[in-house]
Chains A and B, each alone.
Chain A
Amino acid sequence: MAMNKIRGAFAVPRKGETFELRAGLVSQYAYERKESIQKTIMAMTLGKDVSALFPDVLKNIATGDLEQKKLVYLYLMNYAKSHPDLCILAVNTFVQDSEDPNPLIRALAIRTMGCIRVEKMVDYMEEPLRKTLRDESPYVRKTAAICVAKLFDLNPAMCLENGFLEMLQEMIGDPNPMVVANSVTALSEISHTAPETKALQVTPNTLRKMLMALNECTEWGRVTILSTLAEYRTSDVKESEHICERVAPQFQHANPSVVLAAVKAVFLHMKFVGPELAKAYLKKMAPPLVTLVSSAPEVQYVALRNIDLLLQKQPDILNKELRVFFCKYNDPQYVKFQKLEIMVRIANDRNVDQLLAELKEYALEVDMDLVRRAVKAIGQVAIKIESASEKCVNTLLDLINTKVNYVVQEAIVVIKDIFRKYPGYEGIIPTLCQCIDELDEPNARAALIWIVGQYAEKISNAGDILGGFVDGFNEEFSQTQLQILTAVVKLFLKRPEKAQGLVQRVLQAATAENDNPDVRDRAYIYWRLLSNTSDSNATKDIVLSDKPPIVTTISSLPPALLDQLLQELSTLSSVYHKPPEQFVGQGRFGADAVQRAAIEEQIQNARENPLAAAAAAAAVSGDTPSAPAQNNVENLLDIDFDGGAPASAHPEASGGMSGLEGLAGTPVRMQSPAVGAPAPQSSNNLDDLLGVFGDSGPTQPSSSNANGSGAAGDLMNGFSGLDLSGNAPAADGQAKKSNQDIMDLF
């Protein structure tokens, strides 16, 4: 009955490819049938819908030809959902196969059954699964172990009822290492999806079993076991020592992912062992880490991102290894950028000469992005290592003398930061001022103007220089405008006679002719300060106060985030340097709950203190890791328009998220942070394509998407309902930004 209905619904024309395939599938000759199955699979790969052939393909399931059986199974897995009723016809074969004398066939049957995600199939899985879990062949057992995870994904209740989890837990004690590894894999997946099951509880006994299997199972099994060991919290020092001791030999494994997993396990357990021993392990993990740098570029990239994290926690582990990180000419750009960052991190006063020579070499290349980063790195080194600052400044001056436009601009931005730490380099200001006409980027212009304003008393023609900028005030970027404003006021306070007219002009331009509220507000503040006659020193105290010197321009993650990321070594999270909740979607890791909690907190914060909320949002989204709240306050008065961090330490590109993408229910685009963010235009054509994410199929217009955006809308309304009107407009803007950040999480 049901069959007939389906037949009718999927009636196809008696011509064309499908017709031919069908003819082949029911042919009386075996070879023709097999060929047609192959063709069907081919069509399936090309994205053609061959689900109409389901009944005919199914007829070929009972065959002695293993290859053909595999093909039919592959087809079944793909289209089972479109014909849930017909799947029942296959059950018999599966059950039979699961008792076949050939272990390969038994394993194949149980493996495939788990992949046919149809409710009815689940009911028939219980018996075969139970049998195969106790199969005599380890090959079948290891396949059945994974099948439990599949079943749990489909029907957790049934899995629990039948005691499959307990069976799996027993299997950690299996004599075969691969069965152990797969059991651990399955249990670990189950306990990650549903922590309440407590599926994977490491006891001294299971620990012993896992450590034993570690030396014998396949490389991939080792990764699983090592990751599980890394997550395990030991009960005493002895146990930690034992784990480190048994894991450390894996540093020598040929597979980089095993090495990284071993590093992770030792690194996390090292905290609990004695300092001497910990030091020995740190020393031991350095050479394998360095070796990772000579693997394939993609693996290398993952390794480099992880090394970056390890270095933030333990800055000294690779002290002597600077040379390994020198860029090769043919390294992909993403690897080069990451190497640059690591080189700066391991720079010290012993290797700095070598490093500077190398950085200068990069700064003379033609790849503009690399050049900029190299110049920036020179500045970071100067600020990191005091004794090298002079060499760095000289190198920068050499680079400025090349007169290559973008080199000069980047160098000036960097030199501004150096001025903010070290006094005594005023002598180079004339050289910098000579480049004034070549600067066309707002950052560089702003940096130079800041320098002019800061050292106005020492620059005889400061008035002329600033005068030029004031003339074109309204053509500048707002970032530069703010700097011009501040610099002119500084000049006026230092040498009133020179800048009387100038300050009038600039305040006029900024208040009367400018549309940007930030510029206007700052101008008004200055205006008021300057017109304050009761205490003439007050203005000076505020505008010319000594700024605290900057400590570093190397961006580092906040300690809490860093610790969290160290738990995630070698995962995507460690590559992005972002917690998994930020890019892993629905449910699997409880991302929804985390978002909800974060939003609650934001709302609470926003009520109490909008500025702090903005900063917190920034910290949560990892955009500006080094922007604590007070920087924002300072921001309103002082130099940096783009955030508390120095201009040269600009936050890592967050991939062109506009916040609005999140609202539209469109997934946020993320790319590896070391790489220049792609133009955001690409996200538009994503809209319709990504509409299918999370849906259960193109034919069933499911609701999760609509729900998602609906929920987002509600939240937005909630936000707009919040009473923020009592705050300063600028603060309001920032709070809004933070709301958008939250929305980005969707």
Chain B
Amino acid sequence: MLSGILIFNQKGENLIFRAFRSDCRPRLADIFRIQVISNPQVRSPILTLGSTTFSHVKHENIYLVAVTKSNANAALVFEFLYRLIVLGKSYFGKFDEEAVKNNFVLIYELLDEILDFGYPQNTDPDTLKMYITTEGVKSAITNNPTDSSRITQQATGALSWRRSDIKYRKNEAFVDVIEDVNLLMSATGTVLRADVNGQIVMRAYLTGTPECKFGLNDRLLLDSPDASSANNRKGGTSGANKTTRAAAGSVTLEDCQFHQCVKLGRFDADRIISFVPPDGEFELMRYRATENVNLPFKVHPIVREIGTTKVEYSIAIKANYGSKLFASNVIVRIPTPLNTAKTTERTSQGRAKYEPEHNNIVWKIPRFSGQSEYVLNAEATLTSMTHQKAWSRPPINLSFSILMFTSSGLLVRYLKVFEKNNYSSVKWVRYMTRAGSYEIRYDTYTHPYPQI
């Protein structure tokens, strides 16, 4: 499996070098530096030299590199590197060069724990935080045999994600349904691709070892005869229940992925999401929906190139959601040619600004209420160049977030908590839709390529 983990900064300085097998030699760091970091041609994340394979990902300003010597599991290697990033972020807030330099001892300690002989072990940040800590404060616990046997018991047990002795005075669970809506619209206005990547994040503050059951307006589930709707009566005591009644339609989920706490066998057999949640915040599930996607914004771009000196824009955006809702932080990025000298903009709402470093006109609308329509008119004046590079016309890009709206139409029907103490719990649910990659292509009237 993995022979070593290396971390470099952008200059190619080796910040961390941890060999797990004897075949990972220090000189490999030089080879990676020369072959990848200082070689602008390398664009692949995997590079095999001789029988040594370097798999790398870039995060912030560091390279994380896995060295393997065998026909390793490439998917696992990359996923592990990404998990390392998650872990770093969870420990240091930001996982960058500075964090690595300031915490290198801890990083070695972590690497020692999460990889043994190159095989990934438990990488769950919450579990690791029980016995690998940033300050020396808690090391007293790890030095105490009884506590540490409890910790290790937990770190390896079937419920490795949850301690058994959790107590709350008030038992609460918060569910956030967050959807990223992706759109690719062609220049002629047809939707080439529209889908939703959703995630359901839960913050559970529940006592003991609660069994949770979670229900969505999933078409497969609702259509099956044994899905008794009586369940939602007893279900949540608050928010979750009200929205359930409002849910008339159902949603087809293309695919779901679950946190390791979810019993996959149960879901596979009768599509019931049942689990013992970790304490605190975790991502319960991710899902994908492609049918009946409600696109929150319609964009009509008109882009005209006038000779080689000017580009005129007229961009209209209409909000497609209910008038009671509103989107916040709507940002429209309108690409301008690379040789833009200056721009002028007029907007019916919000502010527009030219950002020369990104070759963009950025139009910001802090609050965009439903059903309204706003227009931007802009003009980019171009400098004349003897031989200009063709303009690649990157798509117009939108970012936004809308509360209490799901593009897929997904709703939480119930969240039930069973615990042997039989306490009552309060559940809350919140919905949000954000822009994933929301791209709109456009045609320009004159041809974008100069004559050669």
Contact = CB atoms under 8 A, between A and B. Distances in A.
B17 interface: yes
Give the dominant DSSP class at B's interface: mixed
Nearest to B259: A254
A580 B47 CA distance: 14
Contact of B153 (A138, A290, A291, A306): A138
A298 B45 contact: yes
Interface string A355-370: 0011001001111000
B76 A220 contact: yes
A114 B394 CA distance: 54
Contacts of B158: 177, 216
A220 B31 contact: no
Interface string A227-268: 100000000000000000010111011111101110000000
A358 B187 CA distance: 11
A693 B184 contact: no
Interface string B35-65: 1000101111111111111010100000000
B73 interface: yes
Interface stretch (A83-91, A322-330, A379-387, A601-609): A322-330
Interface stretch (B142-150, B163-171, B202-210, B345-353): B142-150
A678 B27 contact: no
Contact of A332 (B43, B120, B288): B43
Interface centre among A139, A357, A570 (most CB of B within 10 A): A139
A728 B152 CA distance: 72
Interface in B280-328: 283, 285-286, 288, 290
A347 to B, nearest CB: 15
Nearest to B57: A298
A727 B151 CA distance: 74
A568 B447 CA distance: 47
A698 B49 CA distance: 19
A374 interface: no
Interface in B76-126: 76, 78-82, 104-105, 108-109, 112, 116-117, 119-124
Contacts of B288: 287, 290-291, 294
Interface stretch (A571-579, A638-646, A718-726): A571-579
A66 interface: yes
Given A671-B42, A672-B44, A675-B44, A584 B69 contact: yes
Interface stretch (A401-409, A412-420, A466-474, A501-509): A401-409
Contacts of B238: none
A66 B151 CA distance: 15
B35 A102 contact: no
Interface in A684-732: 685-686, 689-690, 692-693, 695, 697-698
A227 B391 CA distance: 48
A12 to B, nearest CB: 20
Interface residues of A, number: 137
A537 B29 CA distance: 67
B360 to A, nearest CB: 13
A298 B78 CA distance: 7
A178 B49 CA distance: 34
A78 interface: yes
Contacts of B426: none
Contacts of A261: 73, 75-76
A632 interface: no
Contacts of B290: 323
Given A146-B116, A254-B259, A176 B447 contact: no
Nearest to B390: A366
A551 interface: no
Max count, chain A CB within 10 A of own CB: residue among B44, B109, B389: B44
Nearest to B160: A218
Contacts of A580: 70-71
Given A287-B254, A296-B78, A671 B44 contact: yes
A365 B74 contact: no
Contacts of A666: 50
Contacts of A227: 73
Contacts of A404: 390, 449, 452
A90 B360 CA distance: 63
A682 B74 contact: no
B149 A257 contact: no
Interface in A311-329: 323-324, 326, 328-329
A111 interface: yes
Contacts of A693: 25, 50-52
B268 A299 contact: no
Nearest to B264: A249
B260 to A, nearest CB: 6
Interface string A65-93: 11100110010011000000000000000
A176 B139 CA distance: 26
B51 A583 contact: yes
Contact of A41 (B105, B195, B254): B105
Contacts of A45: 14-17, 104
Nearest to A246: B265
Contact of A329 (B124, B142, B395): B395
Contacts of A294: 197, 288
Interface string A32-70: 000000100110111100000000000000001111001
Given A104-B131, A254-B286, A323 B193 contact: yes
B43 to A, nearest CB: 5
B255 interface: yes
A589 interface: yes
A185 interface: yes
Nearest to A303: B75
Tell me what chain A mostly uses at the interface: helix, strand, loop, or mixed: helix
B51 A585 contact: yes
Contacts of B117: 114-115, 146-147, 149-150
B260 A299 contact: no
B247 interface: no
A461 B80 CA distance: 63
A588 interface: yes
A219 B262 CA distance: 12
Interface centre among A111, A302, A358 (most CB of B within 10 A): A302
A70 B117 CA distance: 16
A143 B116 contact: yes
A249 B256 CA distance: 11
A678 B449 contact: no
B30 interface: yes
B26 interface: yes
A695 B52 CA distance: 13
B156 interface: yes
A299 B437 contact: no
B192 A358 contact: yes
B225 interface: no
A191 interface: no
B69 A297 contact: no
A676 to B, nearest CB: 8
Nearest to A673: B44
Given A139-B153, A249-B265, A361 B186 contact: yes
B257 interface: yes
A392 to B, nearest CB: 19
A667 B51 contact: yes
Interface string A176-212: 1111001001000100000000000000000000000
Contacts of B55: 298
Contact of A689 (B22, B27, B257): B27
Interface string A469-499: 0000000000000000000000000000000
A472 to B, nearest CB: 22
Contacts of A140: 152
B190 to A, nearest CB: 9
B224 interface: no
9 contacts: A115-B117, A137-B149, A139-B152, A176-B157, A185-B119, A250-B264, A323-B290, A334-B44, A571-B72
Given A253-B257, A685-B34, A695-B25, 10 more contacts: A47-B17, A67-B109, A216-B158, A296-B82, A323-B195, A403-B449, A667-B50, A678-B41, A689-B31, A692-B25
